[in-house]
Amino acid sequence: MKLHDLKPAPGSHTARTRVGRGIAAGKGKTAGRGTKGQKARAGGSIPPWFEGGQTPLHMRIPKLRGFKNRFKVDYEVVNVGAIAAAAERGAFEGGEMPGAGSKPKKAAPVTVNQELLRAVGLVRTLKKPLKILGDGELSTALFVVADAFTKSAVLKIEGAGGTISVLEVPTEDLVALGTDGSPREPREARTAAGRAAAGKRADARASRATDAAEKASEAEAASTAKAARPAKASKAQQEAPAAPDAPAAESTVDTADAAEEADTAGETDSTAEADTSVDGETAGENGSAADTDSTDDENS
């Protein structure tokens, strides 16, 4: 076999139909579109919903307004009256209260749950949660187990001497059987790169814990200092002058008088010194004048 002998399998490749290339080609002239009309024109496509001009289906049907609650819980509902009628017929068998140690003196209330209600035909499926409603009357003591109860149903069941048990979905992780609940230690990495990455993660966790502890200690110290700081006086208290006592006022006046007398004595002393200096200067001038006169007499 040569390279030029290779060819695709028969039927795997179909040649493209070339239209508008003459009558001999089979798709000439109208090119397979027929004679005239909307579909023969360029851009003459018709939308899928078009029905020839009449009101299309998507406009004829009514529209559902509002919204659908994605979190709505769809319950299997049973009324207290229906349970009472089934109990009077003897559909439920009596038994002992759960957790009872010894045989009680009086008969235990009849136990009612979703499985028993389905067995007697009051519940269709076990896939939905069960809710007990309060329509009807009840005179038999029942131990009712369900996912939800109305207030009226609780009052009627407990008023007849029965009890209820609500099946709750756990909201937090439960401890697995056979474990003590402690977190599992991480598996040691097999490669050097994995061990290095694990070490970095551990260091980052340690540094975050240290930073958190330091911030907590700083906040505690700041709060302690703030608590130890004396209370700040209000603006009115700062502006209002303090009312002094009478003896203190008298001592203040005496101190002021003594200060004034001391100032006066100081001024008197300074005045006397000034006068003395002036007299000395005058005497000196007179002496120099007398010397001048005696010199003139000698010259003459």
Report whether 116 contacts 82 (CB < 8 A). Answer: no
The confidence score (pLDDT) of residue 152 equals 95
Could you tell me the pLDDT band of residue 294, with boundaries at 50, 70 and 90? Answer: very low
Helix (H, G, I), strand (E, B) or coil at 165: strand
pLDDT, residue 120, reads 92
pLDDT(265) > 90: no
Q: What is the pLDDT of residue 192?
A: 87
Mean pLDDT, residues 148-156 taken together: 95
Report the alpha-carbon distance of residue 194 to residue 250 in Å, rounded: 87
Contact between 123 and 78 (Cβ < 8 Å): yes
Please tell me which of 91-105, 152-166, 265-279 the model is most confident about, judged by mean pLDDT.
152-166
The pLDDT-based confidence of 249 (bands split at 50, 70, 90) is very low
pLDDT at 51 over 90: yes
Largest pairwise CA distance in the chain: 172
Q: Which amino acid is at 137?
A: E
pLDDT(296) > 70: no
Q: What is the pLDDT of residue 295?
A: 47
Per-residue confidence (pLDDT) for residue 106, from 0 to 100: 62
Each residue's pLDDT tens digit, 64-121: 888 889 999 999 999 999 999 999 888 887 555 455 556 556 666 789 999 999 999 9
Provide the token pair at 244.
């002094």
Instruction: Give the residue-averaged pLDDT of 226-245.
Output: 65
Choose the weakest-confidence range: 132-146, 191-205, 266-280: 266-280
- Residue spans of the domains in the chain: they are 76-98+106-166, 192-223
Mean pLDDT confidence for 195-204: 89
Strand (E) or helix (H) holding 264: helix 246-299
SS3 category, 19: coil
Question: Distance between CA 65 and CA 160 in Å, rounded?
Answer: 44
**Domain covering 76-98+106-166: architecture:** Ribosomal Protein L15; Chain: K; domain 2 (3.100)
pLDDT value for 172: 77
* pTM of the shown model: 0.40
Helix (H) / strand (E) containing 146: strand 142-146
CB-based contact 161:109 (threshold 8 Å): yes
% helix, strand, coil for the chain, step of 5: 45, 5, 50
pLDDT in tens, 25-37: 889 999 999 999 9
Per the model's pLDDT, the better-predicted residue between 293 and 158 turns out to be: 158
Other Cβ atoms less than 10 A from the Cβ of 143: the count is 21
Q: Which pair of structure tokens corresponds to residue 281?
A: 């200067």
Query: Does position 135 have pLDDT exceeding 60, yes or no?
Result: yes
Name the least confident of 46-55, 89-98, 121-130, 186-195.
Answer: 89-98
